[in-house]
A and B are shown apart, each in its own frame.
Chain A
Amino acid sequence: MIVLILETTCDETAAAVVSDQLEVKGAVVASQHDLHQRFGGIVPEIASRAHVERILPVIDETLRRAGITLADLGAVAVATQPGLAGSLLVGLTAAKTLCVALDIPLVAVNHLQAHVYACRLADGPGVFPCVALIVSGGHTSLYHCAGPLDFTLLGSTIDDAAGEAFDKVASLLGLPYPGGPAIQKAAAGGNAKAARFPRAFLGQDERLDFSFSGLKTSVRYHVERLRAKRPDGQLSAQEIADVAASFQAAVVDVLVDKSLAAMRQTAAETLCVGGGVAANAALREALAAAAEKAKFRLSIAPLRLCTDNAVMGAIAIERIRAGLYEELDLDVTPGLVRT
């Protein structure tokens, strides 16, 4: 069976065609440069209604790359949670329409479970059971995953997501957007011990939640104190590097510490890591070191599957195998479901 997968949870309009053997036949993410060129004009980066303009060209291009037509599809899958309500609805409406027109079944995808499934796609079915850390611009959550479809939320951010903290601290330091790569680059020449920033809930092993708002505010005060000491009010390149490195260390410390606590609590033997912040080199190195020391298996999503994409929605194949199809009155679930 060939399945079309749609992903419109936030900014990215993405589609993929995957076989029931998990073979990726074609995939498109609408922020990609080639799509701008192929369809002309500027693709708005941030606009839920822009999904409406992009979804059909993205589906067409994905089918073209896969070398198939709509008639070849056996099912349509779509991410229905969590995300921006208006954006989710565009993908869901497109999916339902195709299902009605082609008389094929509808499959629902949980975007966060899909981020974990990116690890499964890279490293095989043996990654389950696992603890999963999903860390991105919009999410910072820990799950226990007994299987690809069996998720329990262990904890999540109570204020800002880690990726958002990277963006906002980059802005405080006058570094460009997106903040993740900019902070990583600036931190390379910095002293991670130059400033001691707070690590929320660190050492409170029973609590697997995250908080990055206080860290952001603490960095702001630190930057203001540094500025006050200088006649021109500008930080030196070394000071920027030191703040970036110290901030990054604080985020990495908390992410690693909470992941380890979750591993201990669940006695899991594998840690899966997905989401855009999983592309951060310092986080990858720290997780690798922790995995070696604590002797667990580490599976970090490949870089191309860290940021939002539709390929990871191949978790739909697991739902199809389990017979989990949806009725056509299915609705979206914008918020993170805390159970």
Chain B
Amino acid sequence: MKTFSCLCGNVAATGRLGAALAAVLPRGAVVALDGELGSGKTELVRAVAAAAGVDPRAVISPTFILLNEYAGRLPIYHFDAYRLARDEEFAQLGPEEYFAGSGWSFIEWAQKVARFLPEERLEVRAETTGETSRTFHFRALGAAYERGLDALAASLGK
């Protein structure tokens, strides 16, 4: 499937979605996240990373530092474009070197740097649907990610 949406009623549900996503993400996956402040982008990354063996306390916002790296069962690169004034500044981080590896790359505020992202990627739009509930809208760009979304929907029983 090309698109899939999942309502998470609270942080624990986001944790379960992240674990399910970690089970279906292909090697070298690039995941582009968007959504307003506090919509759950970092929380979803934390959930995926935790499922991949990273201490969830180590998953913190990369807004200031621009890029956090976590050593899970595969490397996880956590980018954040929030405070970049120009998208060229993202290119100066050398993202293509990270995208080309076998690890997973997550990019928060991805719309700001869209032209530097690979054509094949998983897009996630986080939407605030209540005080604690968040809906995550997935869009697969490329066959590998479409298969991933099929598996994600199946594992969540949808």
Q: Which residues of A contact B (CB under 8 A)?
A: 10, 44-50, 83-86, 136-138, 156-161, 163-164, 167-168, 171-172, 177, 209, 213, 216-217, 220-221, 334-336, 338
30 A-B pairs with CB atoms under 8 Å apart are A10-B66, A44-B89, A45-B85, A46-B84, A48-B92, A48-B93, A48-B94, A84-B67, A84-B93, A86-B93, A156-B57, A157-B60, A158-B56, A159-B42, A160-B61, A161-B61, A163-B64, A164-B63, A164-B64, A171-B37, A172-B37, A213-B38, A216-B38, A220-B37, A334-B69, A335-B68, A336-B60, A338-B55, A338-B57, A338-B58
B154 at the interface (CB under 8 A from A): no
- Which 5 residue pairs of A and B lie closest in terms of their CB atoms, listed nearest first? A217-B38, A138-B64, A47-B92, A137-B64, A49-B92
A85 to B69, Cβ gap below 8 A? yes
- Among A46, A161, A177, max chain B CB count under 10 A is at A46
Q: CA A338 – CA B64 in complex, angstroms?
A: 19
Q: Which residues of B contact A (CB under 8 A)?
A: 36-38, 42-43, 55-58, 60-61, 63-70, 82-85, 89, 92-94, 131
Known: A50-B92, A220-B36. 16 other contacts (CB 8 A): A49-B93, A156-B57, A158-B56, A158-B60, A159-B60, A160-B63, A161-B60, A161-B64, A163-B64, A164-B61, A172-B37, A213-B38, A216-B37, A216-B38, A336-B60, A338-B55
Number of A-B contacts (CB under 8 A): 88
Q: CA A160 – CA B60 in complex, angstroms?
A: 6
B93 to chain A, nearest CB (A): 6
Interchain CB contact (< 8 A) of A46 among B55, B70, B85, B94: B85
If A160-B63, A209-B57 touch, whether A46 touches B38 (CB-CB below 8 Å) is no
What residues of chain A lie closer than 8 Å to B84, measured between beta carbons? 46
What residues of chain A lie closer than 8 Å to B83, measured between beta carbons? 46, 167, 177
Residue of B nearest to A220 (CB): B38
If A157-B60, A159-B61, A161-B61 touch, whether A86 touches B89 (CB-CB below 8 Å) is no
Q: CA A84 – CA B94 in complex, angstroms?
A: 12
Q: CA A213 – CA B61 in complex, angstroms?
A: 9
B42 to A213, Cβ gap below 8 A? yes
What residues of chain A lie closer than 8 Å to B69, measured between beta carbons? 85, 334-335
B65 to A138, Cβ gap below 8 A? yes
Interchain CB contact (< 8 A) of B66 among A84, A172, A213, A220: A84
Residue of B nearest to A157 (CB): B60
B57 to A85, Cβ gap below 8 A? no
B57 to A46, Cβ gap below 8 A? no
Interchain CB contact (< 8 A) of B58 among A47, A161, A336: A336
What residues of chain B lie closer than 8 Å to A46, measured between beta carbons? 66, 83-85, 89
- Among A137, A171, A335, max chain B CB count under 10 A is at A335
Q: CA A274 – CA B25 in complex, angstroms?
A: 40
B101 to chain A, nearest CB (A): 13
What residues of chain B lie closer than 8 Å to A216, measured between beta carbons? 37-38
A20 to chain B, nearest CB (A): 32
Q: CA A49 – CA B65 in complex, angstroms?
A: 14
Q: CA A334 – CA B70 in complex, angstroms?
A: 10
B65 to A47, Cβ gap below 8 A? no
B48 to chain A, nearest CB (A): 15
What residues of chain B lie closer than 8 Å to A209, measured between beta carbons? 57
B40 to chain A, nearest CB (A): 9
A313 to chain B, nearest CB (A): 18
Q: CA A157 – CA B63 in complex, angstroms?
A: 13
- Among A49, A84, A220, max chain B CB count under 10 A is at A84
What residues of chain B lie closer than 8 Å to A45, measured between beta carbons? 85
Q: CA A157 – CA B93 in complex, angstroms?
A: 25
What residues of chain A lie closer than 8 Å to B131, measured between beta carbons? 221
What residues of chain B lie closer than 8 Å to A213, measured between beta carbons? 38, 42-43, 61
